[in-house]
Chain A
Amino acid sequence: MNTLSHRLKHKITHFLWESDPGHLHLRQGSRTLLAATLTLLSCPWAPLYTRVLACFAAGLVCQGINSLKISEQKTTFGIATFSLLLYFSLVSYVDPYPWAIALVTVGASFTVFAVRSLGPRYALFPLFVWMMGFITTLLPGATGIAFLERLLCVGMGCGISFLVYFYCLPPRPLPYFFENIRYFTILVHNRTLALEKQLQQAIPFKGKEKYYLQLRRSLRKYYLHNQEILSSFEVRHSTQKDQLLSLLSTQYLAGKALFLLQDNLIVLSATRLMAHEYLKQVLRQALKDTSALAQLIQVDPKEREIRLLAKTMPYPQSFKDLKNLLEQSTEDMSTLVPLYQLSTSLNELRDRLFALTDAPRLMAEETVYAQ
């Protein structure tokens, strides 16, 4: 029962926190909630339906914007706000005429998807603008002063949303990037420990096909997340972006090395070389040493102290023993190939983990946004 509840707790924690590195989606949820709540509280004098519309406007206008460059996000936000106000006004104007509303709705639904041809900027927000217009048709209409009051409240909602989005809870791609690296090192730590445990079994890697697919998917996910971030934000100096790109390549190669390590270990475990207990001991120790390095980095990959600590770690004796085994073994060269590839993967993984600690001490978050 305890194990079950522990597993369930772990799954929920993983789902809510670890599958959202940098809490990108949690922040977006918080922004939406904050914008809608502030809008509701900011126009207490307005009638209920007006306040409801303003809240919807505040919540909807900031959706579908977070995938673009920061400087472009502000422009897109502006375009979204303008589109929303225009569509809202149009719908309010034709509200007394049901056929006109139907035509406008059909025309707008065509436009929502057709404008995607103009570029990725128009991929998402038009749908939310359409939703706003549609919700407007469901509520009782307003004309004259009442309409202007509504327009004002909806505009205020969009303005509050803008302030919340860019100034209260601004996008912070850089911490997200490092958080992604941190979760990646947790993956490396857990996986190397799991591999070490497999070597303790009498028949290692029996029937574990599904874990290979899982590892491949996890590695790809972390790498692609970071790739998306790097292509979507600007840094003040081009050297910063180069350093981050270099980190991204390092993460990719580290992931690849981890996967090859697992592959090579499985191939090696099927050869007669694994009958040697000494080799098994050396491999287990090498995996533990690699895991220890990953565990050190996962504390905070961008901290200089971590880098210094990692660099002061002595070169593991297990790696030296492995090298000696390769050089002194009397086995046929082709038999040693899986062991050689395994040793290469271990060294590659270790080197890449060290390279991840070379994250430069970047400036505080606010300096990475382009003006």
Chain B
Amino acid sequence: MLNNPHLRLAIQAASAMTIAISIQHFYHFERSYWAVFTSMILFSQTLGSSIKRALERVAMTILGGGLATLLYFVIPTEHLPIVSIILCSVFFQICFLQRFYLGSAFFASVFIVFFFALIQTWSVHLLTVRIFETILGALITLVCSFLIFPIKTENTLLAKIPLFIADAKALSDQILETLFFPKNNRKEMLKKADACLLLLSQLDQEYIHLGYELGRHHSKQEIKSLLRALGRFYHHLSSVVSWLSHLQDRTLFLALKDEFQALLTATFHDLDTLNTALTQEKAIVFSPNFSTRYQLLEQKAALLREDPKYSRMAWLDYFAFCSFLKTMDDSLKILDTSLLEHSSSLNE
């Protein structure tokens, strides 16, 4: 049950509320409801993203609150300008809510200043209290996120990588089929490419949050290398998807079908090996099947070179595809190296 991240987050939030409300009750800080409110809204999916949010919130409370306070002392204290600023800050706060949290937090602070200015009054003392309470709320959130069933970004990220590799393997199987049977599965192939792209984007997003969680820890660099290697591999794989849509003359590929199938099967089988290595948290050295099978392919291709049946364009396609395969194999080797580095640090 506690593997459910939503339940973990719920327990963290309830604990944070309990702590914040207890502080409110026992210490009677001024305006301690701000700490309660802040500690609730800063919870996010992972520890790294909560840290990022907390830092942004505190920074924008200081900046937004400070600028709004200055503005408050400058503009006339009539209802019209204050209401106008409130409406503008609500508008921009919502505009930026889902795409730019810094902006949203900034305008939220502006809103608070002028809302209080409208219903009672605002002062520098209140600004100081607000900043203090926001920092307190942020600290409560971070303590609960860190100590109570933490949802570490690193674990979330590493759990997604095998899913990506499994999707990449499914895509590569589709590529193999489409190469020799063009009418089949082109839509399936594109769907699989979509799934990989989506996961890769999620991994990139998680990596940003990882920075806040790990700081300068060496495992961050290893994960960065791993993600880069995955990105490069996907890039080469999806390049083949694009290229396949323009492939006209398949005669040469059909003539070399057995050699290509053996080569591609060996290459893509390495993906299964890689996934096993990831899930068992150890590196496995790949056998040099690619080089051997590539040589066999080249030997057979050399025999067909003088055959007038195969056009110049067919040969250009052949060389282009071989170039793709070599770059894919290289990127798999880089992926393996990154995995080896990461596994070594896990074993330390």
B124-139, CB < 8 A from A: none
A152-160, A196-204, A276-284, A332-340: which lies at the interface: A332-340
> C-beta contact mask, B9-31 vs A, less than 8 Å → 1, else 0?
11111101110010001000000
Cross-chain contact of A106 among B21, B98, B242 (Cβ < 8 A): B21
Are A113 and B13 in contact, with the CB atoms below 8 A?
Answer: yes
- How far, in Å, is A193 (CB) from chain B's closest CB? 22
A188-231, CB < 8 A from B: 216, 220, 223-224, 227
Task: Determine the chain A residues whose CB is within 8 A of the CB of B21 once the complex forms.
Answer: 102, 105-106
Are A130 and B239 in contact, with the CB atoms below 8 A?
Answer: no
Q: Whole-angstrom distance between the alpha carbons of A107 and B40 in the complex?
A: 12
Task: Determine the chain A residues whose CB is within 8 A of the CB of B296 once the complex forms.
Answer: none
Q: Would you call A240 an interface residue if the criterion is a C-beta within 8 Å of the partner chain's C-beta atoms?
A: no
Main secondary structure of the interface of A (DSSP, over half): helix
B69-105, CB < 8 A from A: 87, 90-99
Are A106 and B18 in contact, with the CB atoms below 8 A?
Answer: yes
Q: Whole-angstrom distance between the alpha carbons of A251 and B37 in the complex?
A: 43
Task: Determine the chain B residues whose CB is within 8 A of the CB of A32 once the complex forms.
Answer: 90-91, 94
Are B242 and A117 in contact, with the CB atoms below 8 A?
Answer: no
Name the CB-closest residue of B to A110. B14
- How far, in Å, is A67 (CB) from chain B's closest CB? 9
Main secondary structure of the interface of B (DSSP, over half): helix
Are B246 and A344 in contact, with the CB atoms below 8 A?
Answer: yes
Are A333 and B239 in contact, with the CB atoms below 8 A?
Answer: no
Given that A106-B21, A336-B316 are known contacts, is A344 also in contact with B243, CB under 8 Å in the complex? Answer: yes
- How far, in Å, is B286 (CB) from chain A's closest CB? 26
Q: Would you call A309 an interface residue if the criterion is a C-beta within 8 Å of the partner chain's C-beta atoms?
A: no
Name the CB-closest residue of A to B93. A29
Name the CB-closest residue of B to A28. B94
A86-94, A252-260, A361-369: which lies at the interface: A252-260
Task: Determine the chain B residues whose CB is within 8 A of the CB of A138 once the complex forms.
Answer: 33
Q: Would you call B4 an interface residue if the criterion is a C-beta within 8 Å of the partner chain's C-beta atoms?
A: yes
Are B246 and A48 in contact, with the CB atoms below 8 A?
Answer: no
Are A25 and B194 in contact, with the CB atoms below 8 A?
Answer: no
Are B13 and A340 in contact, with the CB atoms below 8 A?
Answer: no
Interface size class, chain B: 35 or more
Q: Would you call B197 an interface residue if the criterion is a C-beta within 8 Å of the partner chain's C-beta atoms?
A: yes
Are B10 and A112 in contact, with the CB atoms below 8 A?
Answer: yes
Q: Whole-angstrom distance between the alpha carbons of A137 and B158 in the complex?
A: 42
Q: Whole-angstrom distance between the alpha carbons of A31 and B188 in the complex?
A: 39
Are B246 and A348 in contact, with the CB atoms below 8 A?
Answer: yes
Are B316 and A256 in contact, with the CB atoms below 8 A?
Answer: no
Task: Determine the chain B residues whose CB is within 8 A of the CB of A269 once the complex forms.
Answer: none
Task: Determine the chain A residues whose CB is within 8 A of the CB of B14 once the complex forms.
Answer: 106-107, 109-110
Given that A25-B95, A25-B98, A340-B316 are known contacts, is A134 also in contact with B36, CB under 8 Å in the complex? Answer: yes
> C-beta contact mask, B298-329 vs A, less than 8 Å → 1, else 0?
00000000000000100110011001000000
Task: Determine the chain B residues whose CB is within 8 A of the CB of A285 once the complex forms.
Answer: none
Residue positions of A touching B, CB distance < 8 A: 19-20, 25-26, 28-30, 32-33, 36-37, 48, 52, 59, 63, 98, 102, 105-107, 109-117, 127, 130-131, 134, 137-138, 216, 220, 223-224, 227, 249, 252-253, 256-257, 259-260, 263, 326-327, 333-334, 336-337, 340-341, 344-345, 347-348
* A to B CB contacts below 8 Å, 15 in the list: A28-B97, A59-B90, A102-B21, A105-B17, A106-B18, A110-B13, A110-B14, A113-B12, A117-B7, A216-B235, A252-B190, A256-B238, A333-B315, A334-B319, A344-B320
Residue positions of B touching A, CB distance < 8 A: 4, 6-7, 9-14, 16-18, 21, 25, 33, 36-37, 40-41, 43, 87, 90-99, 119, 187, 190, 193-194, 197-198, 200-201, 231, 235, 238-239, 241-243, 245-246, 312, 315-316, 319-320, 323
Which A-B residue pairs are the 4 nearest by beta carbons? A29-B95, A113-B10, A114-B10, A110-B14
Known: A25-B97, A36-B90. 20 other contacts (CB 8 A): A25-B94, A32-B91, A33-B90, A63-B94, A105-B17, A105-B36, A111-B10, A113-B10, A113-B13, A114-B10, A130-B40, A134-B36, A227-B194, A252-B193, A263-B239, A333-B319, A340-B316, A340-B320, A344-B320, A347-B246
